[in-house]
Amino acid sequence: MAPRASDDIERAHLRDPADRSFTIHRRLPPASLSPWLRRYWIPVWDVPEGERAEQRVLQYPVCLAITTPAYSRFVGPNPGLSTTVLEGRAWGFGVMFSPAAGAVLHGGGIRDLAGSHRELEEVTALAGLTAPLQELMAQGPDEDEVHAACCALVEERIARLGAPGEEDLLVNRIVEEVEGDATLCEVGELSARVGLGERALQRLTARRLGLTPAWLIRRRRLHEAADGLRGDEDLAALAARLGYADQSHFTHDVRTATGSTPGQLARRWREG
């Protein structure tokens, strides 16, 4: 059985601390499939009748698959803020792919899928998964054995992709360089690290991720900002630590991405 991932609130999820309407189970894929799979997330929710629970996420530069009782979708990277409204009582079985996997599964460049989605059954490598996933999850959406069986279905398909190619590994490395090093703040430095000119890097990330290198850096900083705002760090000190020249630029980036100022987010999380 695959090891369990941490169930802590992940920094990308701008979860309202007062929202107790759902739980999220998380699982990791086997290491052998890590070039193609990052993790699974399995939300189970029970929202009181007549109410709605809005979930806001600053997504990572990857494609997702999400199956619920109502739909089954292959979702492209979202350059903006991803918003999902939960209602009633239901569940979702989510797959977060690696950065390299999206274009391979989509069957070409991912640019046209950024901020959008297609039906999961239209993705050749994943076709036929919807019905068995829905049947399994209906048997026990909170059950570990059910989750393991669903993961096994996905992993059997992903294993058919075989070993990643040189470009696949490079795409994963580009994202890992950005996400793994908080000091990396310039596209030129990223280009030098991965051995590509800036234009070549731009073309590669546009085709394989539907995003720019600058976006990758900006999104990581926003994830770090969300993480920092949940603590007691002074806003000016947090902006400086993240490499902003002044607090006003920090405020602008956070407000543009989330619709809230850093101060508003900090108060919501610290008082929740």
Contact present, 61 and 219 (Cβ < 8 Å): yes
Local confidence band at 4 (pLDDT 50, 70, 90 cut-offs): very low
Contact present, 185 and 193 (Cβ < 8 Å): no
| Span 169-202, pLDDT tens digits | 999 999 999 999 989 999 999 999 999 999 999 9
Q: Is CATH 1.10.10.60 the classification given to domain 166-271?
A: yes
pLDDT of residue 3: 38
Architecture category of domain 22-159 in CATH = Sandwich (2.60)
Q: In the chain, what are the domain boundaries?
A: 22-159, 166-271
Q: Minimum mean pLDDT among 48-52, 134-138, 142-146: which range?
A: 48-52
Average confidence score pLDDT of the chain: 92
Contact present, 64 and 97 (Cβ < 8 Å): yes
46: β partners: 89
Q: Closest by alpha carbon to 16, among 56, 50, 44? A: 56
* 22-159 and 166-271 have identical folds: no
| Span 19-74, pLDDT tens digits | 888 899 999 999 999 999 999 999 999 999 999 999 999 999 999 999 999 999 99
Element (H, E) at 214: helix 213-229
